[in-house]
């Protein structure tokens, strides 16, 4: 990692963390969930970055990948919302998340605390030569202290240029993976806590898509050109295309893109048992003293 790359990573982290903290100021009951995402995304642009993926606003048992495109869903008292956001500078990515209780709620607060404690414990050992199983063990130990479970099939991940999810997973339990972290790896650690079963399933109502980096279409070429130019291989939201191209053109493009395997699709991930989930996340550069880019 050269100095220019490091500076872009740090700047992306600064933008993502400011956008995250901005969200904490306006969350309240009655607010349309789409407005939450829109305001955070606008903040990222205003700070000179671009979203590295759509802001995800996942509520209660919906753990991840919710990117709504209408204003029907509103926050209500007792909700536990996860705000997962990120920014990039020239493809160098920062990824972070926090959970927020709409009003006081003991279950929500316990889950939030468990997720935060687990992340802090994991970051302390995110050093060269640490086996990823050790991070998972540290996460799980913190969860157990508060009587909750990690979501085992949601993991942290390696972060690479224009690639949000690289080929390394960071578990939330000891999965016996002895892969060792290396100096200057960029990783996102994101423990999810639940009182439920500790696993999620995908709802086939796709909110988020990603161009795989190759292929073309006979129709909808203008939409594809826009996706490649604006997002390249980073995830994008159905909402973003609806705003520019309208419902019919967007729907045709997404259907054809998935059918022709140009696009990957991602639906909301729901806790199978129906219990609430909390998430906390930072992006870290692996060092003897780990660097938190999204602090």
Catalytic residue among 165, 174, 202, 264: 165
* Whole-number percent of the chain with pLDDT over 90: 94
What are the pLDDT digits (tens) for 230-261? 999 999 999 999 999 999 999 999 999 999 99
Is the pLDDT at 216 greater than 90? The verdict is: no
Mean pLDDT of 149-170: 97
Residue 281 is among the residues annotated as catalytic for this protein: yes
Q: Of the listed 84, 116, 134, 142, which one is catalytic?
A: 84
Residue 214: pLDDT band by 50, 70, 90 thresholds? confident
142 is annotated as an active-site residue: no
Tell me which of 88, 157, 275, 282 is the catalytic residue: 157
User: Which residue segments constitute the domains of the chain, with CATH numbers given?
Assistant: 3-198+274-292 (3.90.230.10), 208-266 (1.10.10.10)
Q: Is the pLDDT of residue 137 over 90?
A: yes
Is 282 an active-site residue? no
Q: What is the mean pLDDT of the chain?
A: 97
Mean pLDDT of 48-56: 98
Catalytic option among 61, 95, 116, 142: 95
Query: For every residue of the chain, which 3-state class applies, written as one string?
Result: CCHHHHHHHHHHHHHHHHHHHHHCCCCCCCCEHHHHHHHHHHHHHHCCCEECCCCEEEECCEEECCCCCCCCCECCCCCEEEEEEEEEECCEEEEEEEEEECCCCHHHHHHHHHHHHHHHHHHHCCCCCCEHHHHHHHHHHHHHHCCCEECCCCCEEECECCECCCCCEECCCCCCCCCECCCCCEEEECCEEECCCCCEEECCCCCEEEECCCCCCCCCHHHHHHHHHHCCCCCEEHHHHHHHHHHHHHHHHHHHHHHCCCEEEECCEEECCCCCEEECEEEEECCCCCEECCC
Annotated catalytic residue 207: no
């Amino acid at each position: 990692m050269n100095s220019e790359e490091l500076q872009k990573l740090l700047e992306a982290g600064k933008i993502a963390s400011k956008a995250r903290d901005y969200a904490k100021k306006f969350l309240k009951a009655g607010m349309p969930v789409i407005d939450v995402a829109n305001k955070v995304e606008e903040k990222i642009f205003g700070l000179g970055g671009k979203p590295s993926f759509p802001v995800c606003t996942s509520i209660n048992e919906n753990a991840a990948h919710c990117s709504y495109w209408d204003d029907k869903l509103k926050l209500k008292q007792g909700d536990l919302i996860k705000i997962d956001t990120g920014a990039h500078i020239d493809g160098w990515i920062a990824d972070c998340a926090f959970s927020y209780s709409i009003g006081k709620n003991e279950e929500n607060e316990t889950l939030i605390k468990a997720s935060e404690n687990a992340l802090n414990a994991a970051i302390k050992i995110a050093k060269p030569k640490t086996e990823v199983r050790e991070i998972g063990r540290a996460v799980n130990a913190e969860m157990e202290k508060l009587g909750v479970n990690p979501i085992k099939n949601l993991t942290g991940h390696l972060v690479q240029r224009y690639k949000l999810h690289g080929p390394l997973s960071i578990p939330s339990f000891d999965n016996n993976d002895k892969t060792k972290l290396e100096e200057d790896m960029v990783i996102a650690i994101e423990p999810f806590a639940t009182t439920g079963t500790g696993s999620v399933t995908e709802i086939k109502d796709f909110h988020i898509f990603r161009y795989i980096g190759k292929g073309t279409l006979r129709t909808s070429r203008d939409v594809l050109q826009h996706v490649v130019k604006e997002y390249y291989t980073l995830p994008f939201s159905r909402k973003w295309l609806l705003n520019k191209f309208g419902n019919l053109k967007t729907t045709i493009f997404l259907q054809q893109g998935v059918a022709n395997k140009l696009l990957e699709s991602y639906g909301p991930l729901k806790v199978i048992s129906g219990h609430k989930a909390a998430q906390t996340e930072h992006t870290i550069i692996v060092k003897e003293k780990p660097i938190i880019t999204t602090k």
